[in-house]
Amino acid sequence: MPPLVEPPRYRDYSLTGPEGKLAVQKGLASATWYTPYIERKTLRRLMARDDWHASRDMAILYSFIFLLAWGAHALYANGHTAAAGFTFFMYCTLYTSSGDSRWHECGHGTAFKTKWLNDVFYEIASFQVFRLPETWRFSHARHHTDTDIVGRDPEADARPLTMWELSKAFFNIQGIQGEFAKLMRHVNGELSPAERTYMPSTERPGAFRKARVWVGIYLSVVFSSVYLGSVVPLMYVFLPYTLGAWHFVLVGVFQHASLEQDVLDHRLNTRTCYINFVSAFIYWNMHYHIEHHTFPMVPYYNLPELHEVLKDQLPKPYNSIYEVYKEMIPALIKQRSDPDYFTPRELPPEKAKPAEEAHLSFTPDKDGWVAVSQTDEVPLGDMLRFDVGPQTYVLYHAEDDGKWYATAGTCTHGAALLADGLVTGNLIECPKHNGCFDYKTGLPKRPPVKKRLATFPTKVEEVFGVMNVYVQVNNGKHRQIEYDNDECNDTSTSCKED
């Protein structure tokens, strides 16, 4: 009798299974990732945002969407059925596939400089691509924290991905089924066990209300079709979810598929691929995906320049979508029988980095005060990192009132160093998930951050004719998050106060 062949052992990708706990034990959850070198002043320049680029692109996009919608109807009314079908297909593609990238960038808060524009277009794009905005905001933040870490990343590419499942994905079958089930749960005021691991309890009522609003909108579309005796309203709202998804799947699936998992280097689990300018417009430059994951605060219109700055430290980019799929498809097929197999990426020789800037480190006096800087050392609107023992802090020089403020140096959501972030007005933006705090009060101002940032008293005193800025570091509470969940009462989080 021939020996029995043991079937391949596939991993558990659920967020509530044993793989998540194992990732924590291995130090893979909310870990420190490899970061290529870039001059700080260059990165600051590339992180700067404006409203012009996104406003221009949104105007072009929605002009084409409305033109194609009108054109499809006009062509059909005049008996040009084939032309109407093609025009409607293009309408669906722009509606949903462009909605995917706009949802993504506005969700990060990087498309526009003006916050409310990001928020408004995030809601619109979420509807276009059929993704409930509240839960996706937090699940995508987890994706950036633990990219392709099995049991931690809700967007990880579960293996095996069969060719049948991949084919269905081009029509968004799995996405529609999963999101419809989520919509019904939220209408009933329920979350899945996985959603509970990343969705703060304070945000859940809003998510449930929004789901009910969406159902109301969908019902109004159905009633409109019945009232008008026409399927047109149904076609223009619902068909794009499946007919228009092909492009965002085409360029989205190769972001991470078949690459190495459970590795703390985006160069090994993420791809950058050159694509044509039309696809780049639809995808909003997210084909520079290694660059995006490494520095998510850089807006889409600066990613090409970021790529040029970093490319000698990254794997060779793919020259076309065809080149990616030529490598990826055989790898996906092989993973059916060997789930541990992955597509290796060749890394360039390590670039010699200049000596890192020494971080200021101080010992406080008996009252907890430390002299951090002189008043002319930190320009208006800028910040300075300093350390006291194992703790990190940030000193800010406010541009509006010229006063000095200080906060804890790590984000309360994902333990990222805020000194690597971006100061905009009175806000400090986390470099990991784009959440914002008011550095004057410590209050959270933009999700996914929900916990207040510790603030510390400051004063300016003259010593021997020099004006020094002091921070009292023992007069405040510094919360350390061991990994990224906003609710300390959830079993997947450990929080402690120093």
Question: Of all residues in the chain, what percent carry a pLDDT higher than 70?
Answer: 92
Counts for the chain of helices (H) and strands (E), in that order:
18, 14
483 has a pLDDT exceeding 50:
no
Provide the CA 88 distance to its chain's centre, in angstroms: 31
CA atoms within 13 Å, Cβ hemisphere of 88: 23
Residue 173's pLDDT is what? 96
**Strand blocks (E) in 420-465:** 422-424, 427-429, 436-438, 444-446, 455-456, 458-463
Estimate the crossing angle of helix 204-228 against helix 133-145, to 10 degrees.
130
**3-class DSSP state for residue 410?**
strand
Q: What is the pTM of this model?
A: 0.85
Token code pair at residue 36: 């290529």
The 10s digit of each residue's pLDDT in 46-67 is: 999 999 999 999 999 999 999 9
Q: What confidence category does residue 44 fall into, taking pLDDT thresholds of 50, 70 and 90?
A: confident
Q: For residue 471, give the DSSP letter.
A: E
The span from the CA of 203 to the CA of 194, in Å, is 15
**pLDDT above 60 for 498:** no
pLDDT at residue 355 in the model: 60
219-265 tens-digit pLDDT: 999 999 999 999 999 999 999 999 999 999 999 999 999 999 999 99
Looking at per-residue pLDDT, the higher value among 491 and 291 belongs to 291
Q: What is the model's pLDDT at position 55?
A: 98
Q: Do the Cβ atoms of 282 and 94 come closer than 8 Å?
A: yes
Encoded tokens for 210: 């929004």
Instruction: Write out the two tokens for 288.
Output: 């520079």
Tell me what the mean pLDDT of segment 170-197 comes to.
96
- pLDDT score for 362: 76
Flag the least confident range among 107-121, 216-230, 290-304, 362-376.
362-376
The pLDDT score that the predictor gives to residue 433 is 80
Closest CA to 385 of 416, 355, 419, 356: 419
Tell me the two tokens of residue 118: 């990001």
- Pick the closest to residue 362 from 351, 353, 371, 354 (CA basis): 371
Distance CA 236, CA 222 (A): 12
Mean pLDDT of the region 74-79: 95
d(CA 280, CA 97): 11
> Dihedral (C-alpha) 281, 287, 290, 296: value to the nearest 10 degrees?
20
> Residue 359: which pLDDT band, with cuts at 50, 70 and 90?
low
Q: Which helix (H) or strand (E) holds 207?
A: helix 204-228
User: Which class for 79: exposed (0-12), middle (13-18), buried (19 or more C-beta within 10 A)?
Assistant: exposed
Average pLDDT of span 112-135:
96
Domains of the chain: 18-337 (no CATH), 360-497 (2.102.10.10)
Strand order in the sheet with 382-388: 360-362, 382-388, 391-397, 404-408, 455-456
Q: Are strands 495-497 and 436-438 parallel, antiparallel or unpaired?
A: unpaired
Secondary element (H or E) of residue 436 = strand 436-438
Question: Which strand (E) or helix (H) includes residue 101?
Answer: helix 81-108
Residue among 383, 381, 365 at smallest CA distance from 373: 383
Strands of 243-381, DSSP E: 360-362, 369-374
Q: What is the pLDDT of residues 80-95, one digit of tens each?
A: 999 999 999 999 999 9
Contact 344, 260 (CB under 8 A): yes
pLDDT of residue 490 exceeding 60, the answer is no
Cα(first)–Cα(last) distance of the chain, in Å? Answer: 64
Is residue 288 classed as helix, strand or coil in its secondary structure?
A: strand
User: Which residues, 6 or more positions from 119, have their beta carbon under 8 angstroms from its beta carbon?
Assistant: 106
* Residue 358 confidence (pLDDT) above 60: no
Q: Which residues pair with 408 in a beta bridge?
A: 393
What whole-number distance in Å separates Cα of residue 108 and Cα of residue 121? Answer: 12
Q: Can you tell me the distance from the alpha carbon of 11 to that of 297, in angstroms, rounded to the nearest whole number?
A: 32
Mean pLDDT, range 342-352, rounded to an integer? 90
Query: Average pLDDT over the chain, rounded to whole?
Result: 90
Tokens 């509240």 belong to: 134
Q: How many CB atoms lie within 10 A of CB 482?
A: 13
